[in-house]
Amino acid sequence: MGLKRTLAVMALVLLWAGPGLSEDTATAPSKRTLKPNRTLTYNVLPGEADSLAGLFSEGVFYGRVRINTFDYEWRDDSIVTDDNWATAIGGSLMFKTAYFKGFGATVDLYTSQNPWHMDRDKIVFLKSGKDVLSRHDVYNDDDYYMNVLAQAYGEFKIAKSSVRYGRQIFESLLTASNDTKMIPNTFEGLTLSSRDLDKTTIKLAWMTAQKLRDHTEFHDLLTFGDSTFVGKTGTEKVLTAWSNNDDSAMHRGLSWDNYIKAGEDTEQDLLIAQVQNQSIDNLKLMANYTAVPNVLSSATVEAHYTIPAGGFKIIPGVRYLNQFDDGGGDIGGASLTGLLADGSQTGGYDDPSSLDGWLVAARMDLKRDNSFWKFRLGYSHIGDEADIVAPWRGFPTGGFTRAMGQYNWFSNTDTWMLRGDYNFGKAGLVPGLKAMFRLAYQDYDDSKTALKKDITIGLEPSDRTVLHLDFIEAIPSLPDMELRLRMAFVDADDTINGLKPSYNEFRLELNYLF
């Protein structure tokens, strides 16, 4: 059913685009351009004002209309959950002031409306579609909408540096807007971005709160649930956990209850330092340090080198991340499920009370100069220690082996991935159409019994093959409008408990920028 709907919409899109249309139909430059990873490039920005009044009169408005639909179908009807779907319509309105003596400000209001939705008692089964609404607000207030001032910050710019304070998007290795639904993931805090050093980008951040995509209020950065969360069994108790950081990749053992039991603060800060450098020809380097003081930290290095090869480019890359236990292991245990927090079992982990861990990832890109295609082969291995903790929407294996909706940074997990990109517009076939596929195999450690089914985290991982397809159509006849179709087909082995978690997933996204 979902595949038929998706293919029907895809056919309409291609007919709408029309093979005879030119890619240069648009005559006016766009204020913003949407990248494939859903971050935005700002082509039009406010300038420097001569007076305080000019801060507002010379500012720039940006708008966005978006529609998202999700269809998630389990292949085995006997599985202990339900097929689920979600539809939302909404958008955002942003205003950036001009700058007066380097000072400026930005406000960005988002809305997500759900006039068609699943029943309240079925919301617990939502998977990818959960981010178009707040499950916490649906359950507690019967609200199927979100209205959020997700960004509101003051800014000071000097030369090629910018300091921001307030609510904002911050893109780094482990923090990201991940704006693939209706409202981005944003943070509250103080940040610095600088390009003053030649061919170098420096980012520093001190974050005090986060707002996940499916929340209407800002919350703790690394606390699962709050004072109303009193256990992990029973639907009613699970639903109360939809406060604070309930991200799909959140460490459930770092809960409000467990912090209190350990005599630790439930409010944390997130510190980030990241440097990127391209001083050496063809070489891109990155180093990142991310820390939640008194809980955990990580240090990462990454390198990519471009090798010209007779009209082609071969680009090998590598990433190494080392995670340090700064006290969080004694609070929540080594497993993201939280099932090792009480120390009563090992769950297959050598040290169930330690969050020390690491991962290594490598990839090889192949593309022709100025070509319309690219291939990537990727591999990642998570060390046989603790799971990697990263609930801030920047993915530890992202860009290497992570496919749509997959979390492959559990302890002792191996993933291989083949990716291909094809630009039909550049190839002269269909104006504005791009496609991407990812084929991944994820090999989890079957001895990790702490990955068994737990109602607060969903179905436990099992070895699986993932086929993910993306089609993006930037319609030439409608400048600034884009349609994106996403499909995932997951063939998974039976879980430890005998569940059959294979599924098909279909997404349709419309964006119009103005």
Nearest CA-CA partner of 448 in 511, 364, 387:
387
- The amino acid occupying position 317 is G
Q: How far apart are CA 209 and CA 253, in angstroms?
A: 19
Question: For residue 401, what pLDDT is reported?
Answer: 98
Integer Cα distance of 318 and 364 in angstroms: 9
Question: What is the H or E stretch that residue 12 is in?
Answer: helix 2-17
DSSP string, 418-485: EEEEEETTTTTSSTTEEEEEEEEEEE--TT-GGGS-BTTTBSPP--EEEEEEEEEEE-TTSTTEEEEE
- Residues 150 and 168 sit within 8 Å (Cβ to Cβ): no
Q: How far apart are CA 394 and CA 272, in angstroms?
A: 12
- Secondary structure of 167-194 in the HEC alphabet? EECCCCCCECCCCCCCCCCEEEEEEEEE
Cα–Cα distance for residue pair 323/292, rounded to 1 Å? 11
Please tell me the distance from the alpha carbon of residue 463 to that of residue 249, in angstroms, as a whole number. 18
Please say whether the beta carbons of 350 and 333 come within 8 A.
no
Quickly tell me which residue has 């291909």 as its tokens: 420
**Chain centroid to CA 393: how far?**
4
Instruction: Report yes or no: 377 and 325 within 8 Å, Cβ to Cβ.
Output: no
Helices vs strands, H then E, count in the chain: 6, 21
Structural domains in the chain, CATH included, are 2-513 (2.40.160.10)
CA distance 480 to 474: 7
Helix (H, G, I), strand (E, B) or coil at 51: coil
List beta partners, residue 285.
Answer: 277, 303
Reference 391, options 464, 294, 298, 498; nearest CA is 298
**pLDDT one digit per residue (tens) for the chain, 514 residues:** 444 544 554 455 445 444 434 444 445 678 999 998 889 999 999 999 999 999 999 999 999 999 999 999 998 876 667 899 999 999 999 999 999 999 999 999 999 999 999 998 888 889 999 999 999 899 888 999 999 999 999 999 999 999 999 999 999 999 999 999 999 999 999 999 999 999 999 999 999 999 999 999 999 999 998 876 544 444 454 556 688 999 999 999 999 999 999 999 999 999 999 999 999 999 999 999 999 999 999 999 999 999 999 889 999 999 999 999 999 999 999 999 999 998 888 999 999 999 999 999 999 999 998 889 999 999 999 999 999 999 999 999 999 999 998 999 999 999 999 999 999 999 999 999 999 999 999 999 988 887 665 544 455 688 999 999 999 999 888 889 999 999 999 999 987 777 788 999 999 999 999 9
pTM (2 d.p.): 0.91
Give the position of tokens 């309930």: 246
How deeply is 507 buried, as exposed, middle or buried, from its count of CB atoms within 10 A (0-12, 13-18, 19+)?
Answer: buried
